[in-house]
Amino acid sequence: MPNRLAGETSPYLQQHAENPVDWRPWGEEALTLAKREGKPILLSIGYSACHWCHVMAHESFEDAEVAATMNRLFVNIKVDREERPDLDQIYQTAHQMLTSRAGGWPLTMFLTPEGTPFFGGTYFPKAPRYGLPGFPGLCQQVADAWRDRRADIEQQNGELLKALSAGATTRPLSGELTATPLKLAVERAAQSYDADFGGFGGAPKFPHPADLELLLRRHAATGEARCGEMALHTLRCMAEGGLYDQLGGGFCRYSVDERWAIPHFEKMLYDNGPLLRLYADAWRVSGDELFKRVAEETAGWVMREMQSPEGGYFSSLDADSEHEEGKFYVWSREEVSRCTTAEEYAVAAAHYGLDRAANFEGAHWHLVVARPLPGVAAALGRPLAECEALLASAREKLFAAREERIRPGRDEKILVSWNALMIEGMAHAGRVLGRDDWLDSARRALAFIRREMWKDGRLLATSKDGRAHLNAYLDDYACLLKAVLELLQAEFDAGWLVFAEALGDALLAHFEDAAGGFWFTSHDHEALIHRVKTGHDNATPSGNGVAAFALQRLGHVAGETRFLEAADRTLRLYYPDMERQPGGFATLLAALDEAIVPPAVVVLRGPQDQLTEWKRKISERYWPWTLTLGVPAQADELPPALNKPLKDGVNAWVCSGVKCLEPIDDFSCLERVCKSPELI
């Protein structure tokens, strides 16, 4: 019989609905049961694309004897960290405090009936190995400790709750915001930069798109060559490695090695949205066709595999297929040879490293660019153009053959924050590369969210199978606001601007802390053991950083000081932390950059055909501090900041903060101004 997870919207929870474990979703019913029976809670947090979550499920949660032990000793609660990031943040932090080790998934925490954790870990095997205890024995030991050492647990709980609530120890900045943290961030990045393989630090390596975007911004603003080199070299190495799907497009979550060769194979929506934006910008900065191709292939993968018929974007693709990690993606030499002609194989094998030792488990290869195509052409004595054609036909055949394999699972829930990251990526890349189909994809996703997940002036966090629910979080509102502002640059819509202001007002009304910054959960959210407020980027950009950045831009566009003041309070709260240790604050640092030198807001008015041409030329140029709105002649009910008079031809009104120029009717003049914001 299915357990109590069968009616949940999360595919991850549904994966465990047939377990013999008496799983319950997080909620009042489960918590009340624990209190009534005096049992501790076994809390297991994971997500559907997680390889080690699957391993622990197969080993322990599907085993009747292990399940019997769990059911006898605990109230068992299963949580999807993607639907409940509030719970995940709290218990990951608690895990680090209790164990002095980094967390991860699956997260296994043992809680009091009131929800306070007293012991935990991540993956535990069924039988002792890897230096870890066997899970059934561990469960019994924890239950014994709960029975025999209650006083010690209660004392530890008090100390843990005190540590969680300590919060920030710094006072908000009262003086002037300066660029000191931005300069220090570049220095720290240079110290950990891997000049050989790109990225920062050693294995495992994560993409960190917010850090790379900040470096590109600094390169454009200061002309500092090393900032551009660090960003562009990293992006090239990622694109030529196994982190990137060489046949189907899109990036995996992280690389287990320092060369970007072998990833954990799950593909997450939240990585690919920011990376799509970043590769479009890298193409603008460098003109390198590799970056353009990666953007095109990634956007193609998103529309082909990750967009629902209703418009929203799905969450992720699993790492595993047929219970094996990476099986869908890797190849034997024989498989590649069978799918291609001898000429195609010669080029593909040399290019992707099949003529070298296998790089994956057994005699298998995960495709990486082992040798650039010009080198392959020279070694084979063939013209480069001929090798390009042979490689293209080989890739087409390999992709078609791979499509016949058993596919990894797809998590088809739709999350507002992750959708917003992809909407922004699609809108930005579509604007930069002139792709109306990408813009249409972004518009469809936004329409889905407004139709299904925006109710009575509030967002719902998750949707699947026609059911939207759960209070939305800070990241949902902030990322969606930033995405709408990006779409407005591609296509002005007065209704979108009204929606953007509603999102901004919701942030202020439901999330802002009077002391500065924004709580992760709304003021009317379920009471938990701790309320999170952080400025650090994690796998996704910081909600406080995105809120500060987007509210500043909204304030300048709408001419509303309440948004600017809230952003200023946020930056002042986190400025001492950024000045002391800027690592991990890239999103807030981008907002700081625009607080010091306000973005140039360019309002274009004029005939539609000429307006389109001006917007196209602006999109081709990398001016990250510029926000351009092409307001059609027929637009009405505009805020004063955008309500510019119509004149002959196109006119551009350029403002930065409270400084504005006379209207500009010559594009070359506008280009000089936008290249150098200090001219405003």
**Alpha helix (H) residue ranges in 129-241:** 135-148, 150-166, 180-192, 209-222, 225-240
- Options 2.60.40.10, 3.40.50.620, 3.40.30.10, 3.20.20.150; which CATH number does 11-166 get? 3.40.30.10
Token reading at 637:
């009910």
Task: Give the separation between CA 438 and CA 302, rounded to whole angstroms.
Answer: 10
Work out the burial of residue 239: count CB atoms within 10 Å of its CB; fewer than 13 is exposed, 13-18 middle, 19 or more buried.
Answer: buried
User: 């509303």: which residue's tokens?
Assistant: 560
How much is the pLDDT for 231? 98
In 3D space, the residue among 189, 198, 212 whose CA is nearest the CA of residue 274 turns out to be 212
Tell me what pLDDT residue 661 has.
94
Task: Give dist(CA 194, CA 198) in Å, integer.
Answer: 5
Query: Which of 348, 352, 350, 351 is closest to 360 using CA atoms?
Result: 352
Please list, in sequence order, all residues whose beta carbon lies within 8 angstroms of the beta carbon of residue 362, skipping any fewer than 6 positions away.
none
> Torsions phi, psi of 398, nearest 5?
-65, -40
* CATH 3.40.30.10 residue window(s) in the chain: 11-166
CA separation (Å) from 260 to 150, 240, 255, 322? 47, 8, 5, 24
Q: Quote the pLDDT of residue 680.
A: 75
Instruction: Return the pLDDT at 167.
Output: 67
Which residues 6+ apart lie within 8 Å of 389 measured at CB? Answer: none
HEC string of 320-388 equals EECCEECCCCCECHHHHHHHCCHHHHHHHHHHHCCCCCCCECCCEECCCCCCCHHHHHHHHCCCHHHHH
Output Rg (C-alpha) for the chain, integer angstroms: 26
pLDDT of residue 219: 97
| pLDDT score recorded for residue 236 | 98
Low-confidence ranges of the chain (pLDDT < 50): none
pLDDT for 168: 57
User: How many C-beta neighbours within 10 Å does residue 82 have?
Assistant: 26
**Counting Cβ atoms within 10 Å, is residue 456 exposed (0-12), middle (13-18) or buried (19+)?**
exposed
**Nearest alpha carbon to residue 35 among 90, 108, 112:** 112
